A and B are shown apart, each in its own frame.
Chain A
Amino acid sequence: MNAQKTTVPNLAPVVTIKLAATSDEMLQCFALRAAVFMGEQQCPYDEEFDGNDYTATHIIMYVDGEPAGTMRLRWFQSFCKFERCVVLRRFRGLGIHHEINAWCKEFARRKGYTKAYIHLQKRHLAMMEKEGFRRVDDRTFNFSDHEYYAIYCELKPPEDAVTMTTMPMVVNRPEDRLHEEGVLEKSASRGATNPHVSTERRPN
């Protein structure tokens, strides 16, 4: 038999995940949440934008350059809370929420967290169990018209998790690129000229 080699064009969508680091990227996160929670699930604005957005870390996911998903992370002493996870309707069914979960787990691990914690709509339990999450206890509770379980997952901290003994300038890097030199390390080449010393205070 003469096997013919054909080149199959790579049609897999390009998925990019990053820390929302600019106002535009934050707006994309907020717009996706509004689309899904307010548009599809009839959540009131005040419940969706609950006052915690400016104490949190936002993650944005693109599919072929188009904003497609987001997650909000909040940092407590003993765990990282994953919340407001969204995949836009037309990007569902590709399994890309697994990618955003995995990205966020890695992100939290690198910051030294050993537990990810989620308030999960009951209907999604089986899906999240496959990702290693289990219920904290048997409580159920409800808010914004849905029933929830508290679930968590252990994260194994990597050897290079950030601690107080990590190189100081590594701690200053953009948090989703701790392995790359950051803008402040480049600034170190300017030396410590202490420019404030020559600045006169304007008299009142």
Chain B
Amino acid sequence: MNNTPRSIDGEAVTTRLAMRMEDSLQAFAVRAATFIGELDVPYSEEFDGHDFAATHIVAYVGNEPAGAVRVRWFQSFAMPERLAVIQRFRGHNIGQLLLERCRALAESRGCNTLYTQSLPADVKYWEKQGWRRLVAEEASPGPKRIVAMVRAVDPNKPLPEMAAEEAIVLRREAQLDAAGLPVGTVTN
């Protein structure tokens, strides 16, 4: 399924790790355009305090920042999230290119598992990119706001089935306070 784009209208499509201030700013601008501008997500939810403990990857069409994804690193998995592609560059598999870059980066770090939390409407997209639901069957009925998804870093080494409760695999992450600890855990 390697139909990732190499060029759009003669402009090369590339990805790179954000290593300079300007690269990070480009990643933030792409996310702001998409999540705040298009989807009306509040600033404080989009920029949630994890940006300076994460790796950012930016996709370019020529020199133009066209997409971005953030990867956070945990002991047992890498977590790509905040995947965004600027509206006019959609339909060219730039998201796939960014996720492949995440996968390769995780592989180079010896990581076996990719994990993400998807909106129900986006589950099909992630499945097309080779991801699957972490918990095959939804444990409880009713509308779900997020779905845990996983993918093996090496497709030849599929992940074992998980038997965890949804309440565990979707545990909500705490907001951090100024000390880097979950809000409310420090009382003095």
Residues of A near any B CB (own CB < 8 A): 27-28, 30-32, 34-36, 38-40, 42, 44-46, 48-49, 66-67, 88-90
Contacts and interface: CB of A to CB of B under 8 A. Distances in A.
A38 B32 contact: yes
B43 A66 contact: yes
B30 A28 contact: no
Contacts of B29: 30-31, 34, 38, 45, 48-49
Nearest to B46: A31
Given A27-B28, A31-B47, A45-B26, A39 B34 contact: yes
Could you say which of A39, A45, A90 has the most chain B C-beta atoms within 10 Å of its C-beta? A39
30 contacts: A27-B47, A30-B25, A30-B28, A30-B29, A31-B32, A31-B36, A32-B36, A34-B29, A34-B37, A35-B33, A36-B37, A38-B30, A38-B32, A38-B33, A38-B37, A39-B32, A39-B33, A39-B34, A39-B38, A40-B37, A40-B38, A42-B88, A44-B64, A46-B63, A46-B64, A49-B25, A66-B43, A88-B36, A88-B43, A90-B40
Contacts of A42: 87-88
B32 A32 contact: yes
Contact of A31 (B43, B65, B87): B43
Contacts of A90: 40
B120 interface: no
Contact residues of A: prevailing secondary structure:
helix
A93 B132 CA distance: 43
A28 B32 CA distance: 10
Contacts of B36: 31-32, 34-35, 39, 88
Given A38-B37, A45-B65, A49-B25, A67 B88 contact: no
Interface in B61-80: 63-65
Contacts of A28: 43
Given A39-B34, A89-B37, 20 more contacts: A27-B47, A28-B43, A31-B29, A31-B46, A35-B33, A35-B36, A38-B32, A38-B33, A38-B37, A39-B33, A39-B36, A40-B38, A42-B87, A44-B64, A45-B30, A46-B64, A66-B44, A67-B44, A88-B36, A90-B40
B86 interface: yes
A39 B90 CA distance: 13
A61 to B, nearest CB: 12
B42 interface: yes
Contacts of A39: 32-34, 36-38, 87
A35 B40 CA distance: 9
B86 to A, nearest CB: 7
Contacts of A27: 25, 28, 47
A31 B42 CA distance: 11
A92 to B, nearest CB: 11
A35 B42 contact: no
Contacts of B26: 45
B67 to A, nearest CB: 11
A48 B64 CA distance: 11
Interface string B84-115: 00111000000000000000000000000000
Contact of A34 (B33, B40, B87, B88): B33
Contacts of B37: 34-36, 38-40, 89
Contacts of B44: 66-67
